[in-house]
Amino acid sequence: MPHGPLLEALLAGQYICAITNEDYFTKLQRDEVREGLDDYLRPLNRRVATNDEQTVFFLAYRDIDEPAREHLKQQLSVVMSSMLPLLEWLTYVQEAMGSDAILTAGDTIKLQELMVKTEDNPSLRQRLQALANDKFFNSNADAVDAQAKQVAKRLVEHGYLLQPHANRLYFTVTGKIDYLLDLVRFIKDEENIPLDESQSQVELL
Amino acid sequence: MAGQERESQLLSGLFEVGAERLKLIGDHAKLLMQGYLRGSIDVAAVSERSLKRLIAARILYQPDASTEVKLRHPVTQLVAALVTDESRRQIDAGVADKLVAIRGYVEGMREAQRMGDGVRVDSQMLRIEEAVYDLTSQFEEAIFSLWHRLNSNFGFVSNLSDKIRENGRAQQQIKRLIEGLSLIDFDEFIELAEGHPGLRKLLVSRLQQQINTHHGSLLEVQKRLVELMTRFREQQERSLLVVNMAGFLREHPSFAIGDYSYRTQVPRLVNHAAPVLASAGVALDKREQQPALVPLIHSLYKELALKAKVDTASSNSNSIEVNAKQQAVEARQQQLKEDAMQYFIAVCERAQDTQAHDAEPLSALDYLQQQQLSWPPEVWLFQVLGEYNGLPRHEQQLFELYRQEQPASRFNHLYLIADIAVRYQPQSAA
C-alpha cells in the first residue's frame, strides 16, 4: 500500500488538514488517491470523507449499520457536550486578541501573549476561569498561567490545536476548528435555531 | 511684449503669496495638526493676529457666527494625502471638468498659433501639460490610496463592520474612477492633436499608455477588494455564528439535537467513523524477515537489562531487609538441628550412665520439656525423625526408635505419631 502512514493516521480517527500534515493533505486532495484509499477501506466499511470546503479529511462509514449508528450517536453527544466550552473559548480568544475574526485553520496562538492580556483584564480573567472550570477543560487551578496551559493542553489532545514544539508555548489552529464550525452551522440550520441576527449584529458593533 | 511682462509680474506676485502662505502653514504646523485631529482649532492657543492671518490666507475659516474655527477643506485634504490618512482622504474623479479644461486650452493654443502669439502658445502648451498631468496624477493618487487601504486591510478603522463599509466605499470609488476613465475619448484627442506632434505625443500616445495602466490597476484593485470583502463577510458570518450559538446554548442548557445518526440519510458531517488501530505483532513465519527482527530483539533485551538495573538499584534497600529475615530463619533452623543432635547425645549418655543394656528409651517429648526448649512438639518430633533418618545406616543401627502411635481413623491406615522414644544399643553394632 503506497500510502501506509496516511492510511494509519486516517484509521486512527484523525482529521487531516493542511496544518496537521500538509503532505497527507495534498495527497488527499487528489481524486485518484482518495479512490485508491476507498477501495482499500471497503472491507473495513470505511471511506474518505471531507467537509464542504474540502479543508479537512477524515474517515466515514461506508454503510451505516446498527453499531455504526450507535457509535455516531455517542460521538455526537460527546461533541455536543464540548460545544459550548469550545465556542466560549473561541470568543474569549477573539476578544482577548482584539481580532476581527474567529480563529481559523492556520492561525497561531501565542499563549504568553494571551496570558498577559488576560491577566490585565478582570473580565477576561473571569471568562478564562469559567472556561477552565468547565469539565471539558477540567482545571482546578487558580492562576491564569496554569488555567491557560491546561486549556491549551486539552485542545491539543482533542486535535483543535497543534503544538509544533513541545517546550514552546505557541500553537497552530488546525482544520478541526473549521469542521466544528461547519457542524455548528449545520446544527443551526437543521434545528432551526432562531439566532436573531440583527439583534446580535448590533451587539457586535 | 506688455502682456508677457504683465504675466511675469502676476506670476512673481503669485509666487510670493504662495510661498508666504505655505510658510504660514509651516509656522502653525502643530496648531493645524491639532485642528485636523480635533475637527476645530483651539482659539485660545493662538494669538488674535495669527488667527486673522490664517483666515485671510484661506487656511482656516469660520463656518458660521459661532466661535468655532476650522481647517479649510483643501488643507484637510493636503494633510490627509501627506499622512495617507485613508479615512479622511477623498478622491475626486471629476474627469469631465478636466477634459473640458484641456479642450479649452487646446482651442486657446490653436487660436494663439493662428495669431502668431508664440508666448501665449507656449503658456497654453504648459497649461495643457499640467492639465494632462493633473488628470493622470489624480488616478495615480487614487490608485495609490486604494492599494494602501487594501494592503493595510482597512486597519484605519477598528471593527469588522466598519471595514466592510469602507470596503464598500472603496468599491464605489473604483466604479466612479472607471467611469471617469471611460469618459476619455481618444478619437477626440487624436482630432484635437491633428498636425501638432508635441500635442499628439502628450494627448494621445503618452496619455493612452498611462490610462491603460491605470485601468489595469483599477481592475486589479477591484478584484482584490471583492476578494477581501468576501473574506470580511465570511469572518462576520463566523463571528456571528459562534457568538449566537454560544448564547443560545448558554440560554438552553438542556438543548438536544435530533437523532442524526438514526436517519435514513445520515448527514455527511456527522459520519465520522470510529478509529481502527492497525496494530501488529512480531511474527517469525518469514525467514527472510528474521535478520530485521534480530537486532530489534537485541535492542529490546538491552532496554530490559537497563530497566532491570534501575529496578534493582531502587529495590536494594528492600533486598537487604529480606536478607536479614532469611538469616534469622536460617539461624533458628540451625538451632533446631543442634538441639536434636543434643537429644541423641543425651540418649547415648543415658545408656552409659545406666551401664545397662536395657536402659529405658528416652522420650523425645520428655526431653523437650526437661530442657525447656521452645520448639512446638510437632516441629520437634519431625526434626528428631529427620535427624535419625539423616544418620548413616551403621549409626542408625545403634539406635532403637520407638514410635508411640495410634490410627487416625478406622477407615484407613493413617497413624499419628504421638511421641518418639530412642534407646542406644551399642551391641547391635558389634
DSSP E strand stretches across B65-160: 70-71
Residue A204 lies in a domain: no
DSSP E strand stretches across B253-330: none
Say if residue A173 is in the same domain as residue A82.
yes
Say if residue A26 is in the same domain as residue A105.
no
pLDDT for B355 equals: 62
Report the distance separating Cα A70 and Cα A87, nearest Å: 26
Predicted confidence band at B227 (pLDDT cuts at 50, 70, 90)?
very high
User: CB distance A205–B159 less than 8 Å?
Assistant: yes
Q: How far is A172 from chain B (nearest CA, A)?
A: 18
Higher confidence at residue B4 or residue B262? Answer: B262
A 94-133 residues with CB < 8 A to B: 94, 100-102, 104
- Which chain B residues are within 8 Å of A196, Cβ to Cβ? 244
In this prediction, residues B108-120 reach a mean pLDDT of 87
In this prediction, residues B390-414 reach a mean pLDDT of 80
- Which chain B residues are within 8 Å of A59, Cβ to Cβ? 272-273
Of A106, A130, A114, give the one whose Cα is nearest residue A169: A114
Say if residue A162 is in the same domain as residue A80.
yes
Least confident of A25-29, A162-166, B243-247, B281-285: B281-285
pLDDT for B297 equals: 80
Number of helices and strands in chain B (H, E): 14, 5
Q: Give residue-wise pLDDT tens across range B242-284.
A: 999 999 888 888 888 888 888 888 888 888 888 887 677 777 7
B159 to chain A, any CB pair closer than 8 A? The answer is: yes
The yes-or-no verdict on residue B329 having pLDDT over 50 is yes
- Which chain B residues are within 8 Å of A68, Cβ to Cβ? 261, 273-274
Q: What is chain A's Cα-based Rg?
A: 19
User: CB distance B241–A195 less than 8 Å?
Assistant: yes
Say if residue A44 is in the same domain as residue A80.
no
User: CB distance A100–B235 less than 8 Å?
Assistant: yes
pLDDT for B133 equals: 87
Q: How far is A98 from chain B (nearest CA, A)?
A: 9
- Which residue of chain A is at minimal alpha-carbon distance from B256? A80
In this prediction, residues A18-31 reach a mean pLDDT of 91
User: CB distance B266–A72 less than 8 Å?
Assistant: yes
Say if residue A40 is in the same domain as residue A123.
no
What value does the mean pLDDT of chain A take?
87
Which residue among B238, B272, B275 sits closest to A60, beta carbon to beta carbon?
B272
Say if residue A27 is in the same domain as residue A82.
no
Q: How far is A39 from chain B (nearest CA, A)?
A: 16
Residue A163 lies in a domain: yes
CB B409 within 8 A of CB B401: no
pLDDT for B316 equals: 65
Say if residue A114 is in the same domain as residue A169.
yes
Q: Give residue-wise pLDDT tens across range B374-394.
A: 888 888 888 888 888 888 888
Q: Give residue-wise pLDDT tens across range B86-100.
A: 666 666 657 888 888
If one counts the domains in chain A, the total is 2
Say if residue A32 is in the same domain as residue A92.
no
Say if residue A32 is in the same domain as residue A93.
no
- Which chain B residues are within 8 Å of A45, Cβ to Cβ? 273
Structural domain that includes position A32: 1-59
Percentage with pLDDT > 90 across chain B: 5
pLDDT for B157 equals: 79
Which amino acid belongs to residue B354? T
Q: Give residue-wise pLDDT tens across range A45-66.
A: 999 999 888 899 999 998 888 8
- Which residue of chain B is at minimal alpha-carbon distance from A66? B262
The yes-or-no verdict on residue A203 having pLDDT over 70 is no
The yes-or-no verdict on residue B107 having pLDDT over 60 is yes
The yes-or-no verdict on residue A201 having pLDDT over 60 is no
User: CB distance A64–B266 less than 8 Å?
Assistant: yes
Say if residue A116 is in the same domain as residue A175.
yes
- Which chain B residues are within 8 Å of A181, Cβ to Cβ? 238, 241-242
Of the residues A59, A83, A103, which one is the last residue of a structural domain? Answer: A59
Give me the interface pTM, i.e. the ipTM: 0.86
CATH number at residue A174: 1.10.10
Which amino acid belongs to residue B360? E
Residue A66 lies in a domain: no
**Burial of residue B187 (number of CB atoms within 10 Å: 0-12, 13-18, 19+):** exposed
In this prediction, residues B201-216 reach a mean pLDDT of 88
Which residue among B244, B268, B277 sits closest to A200, beta carbon to beta carbon?
B244
Residue A202 lies in a domain: no
> Which of B164, B230, B233, B244 is most worth mutating to test chain A (most A CB atoms within 10 A of its CB)?
B244
pLDDT for B65 equals: 64
The yes-or-no verdict on residue A6 having pLDDT over 80 is yes
Predicted confidence band at B416 (pLDDT cuts at 50, 70, 90)?
confident
Residue A201 lies in a domain: no
- Which chain B residues are within 8 Å of A7, Cβ to Cβ? 278
Which residue among B258, B272, B278 sits closest to A75, beta carbon to beta carbon?
B272
Predicted confidence band at B54 (pLDDT cuts at 50, 70, 90)?
confident
B391 to chain A, any CB pair closer than 8 A? The answer is: no
- Which chain A residues are within 8 Å of B268, Cβ to Cβ? 49, 60
Predicted confidence band at B101 (pLDDT cuts at 50, 70, 90)?
confident
pLDDT for B430 equals: 40
What value does the mean pLDDT of chain B take?
82
pLDDT for B266 equals: 83
The yes-or-no verdict on residue B361 having pLDDT over 50 is yes
Higher confidence at residue B422 or residue B310? Answer: B422
Q: Give residue-wise pLDDT tens across range B146-197.
A: 888 888 888 777 788 888 998 998 899 888 888 888 888 888 888 888 888 8
In this prediction, residues B6-16 reach a mean pLDDT of 75
Higher confidence at residue A126 or residue B4? Answer: A126
The yes-or-no verdict on residue B314 having pLDDT over 70 is no
Q: Give residue-wise pLDDT tens across range A167-181.
A: 889 999 999 999 999
A 65-84 residues with CB < 8 A to B: 68-73, 75-76, 80, 83-84
B410 to chain A, any CB pair closer than 8 A? The answer is: no
Beta-bridged to residue A16, according to DSSP, are: A57
The yes-or-no verdict on residue B318 having pLDDT over 70 is no
pLDDT for A198 equals: 47
User: CB distance A204–B161 less than 8 Å?
Assistant: yes
Q: What is the pTM of this model?
A: 0.60
Residue A7 lies in a domain: yes
Residue A39 lies in a domain: yes
- Which chain B residues are within 8 Å of A94, Cβ to Cβ? 239, 242
Q: What is chain B's Cα-based Rg?
A: 59
Which whole-number Å values give the CA distances from A99 to A19, A147, A205, B235, in the listed order?
21, 22, 13, 10
pLDDT for A56 equals: 92
Say if residue A121 is in the same domain as residue A80.
yes
User: CB distance B244–A197 less than 8 Å?
Assistant: yes
Q: Give residue-wise pLDDT tens across range B119-143.
A: 888 888 888 888 888 888 888 888 8
A 167-186 residues with CB < 8 A to B: 179, 181-186
Of B3, B76, B96, B5, give the one whose Cα is nearest residue B35: B76
CA B165, B167, B168, B170 dihedral sign is positive
The yes-or-no verdict on residue A200 having pLDDT over 60 is no
B242 to chain A, any CB pair closer than 8 A? The answer is: yes
- Which chain B residues are within 8 Å of A49, Cβ to Cβ? 268, 271-272
Beta-bridged to residue B415, according to DSSP, are: B407
B 247-276 residues with CB < 8 A to A: 247-250, 256-262, 266-276
A18 to chain B, any CB pair closer than 8 A? The answer is: no
The yes-or-no verdict on residue B362 having pLDDT over 90 is no
- Which residue of chain A is at minimal alpha-carbon distance from B236? A101
- For chain A, the residue count is 205
Residue A149 lies in a domain: yes
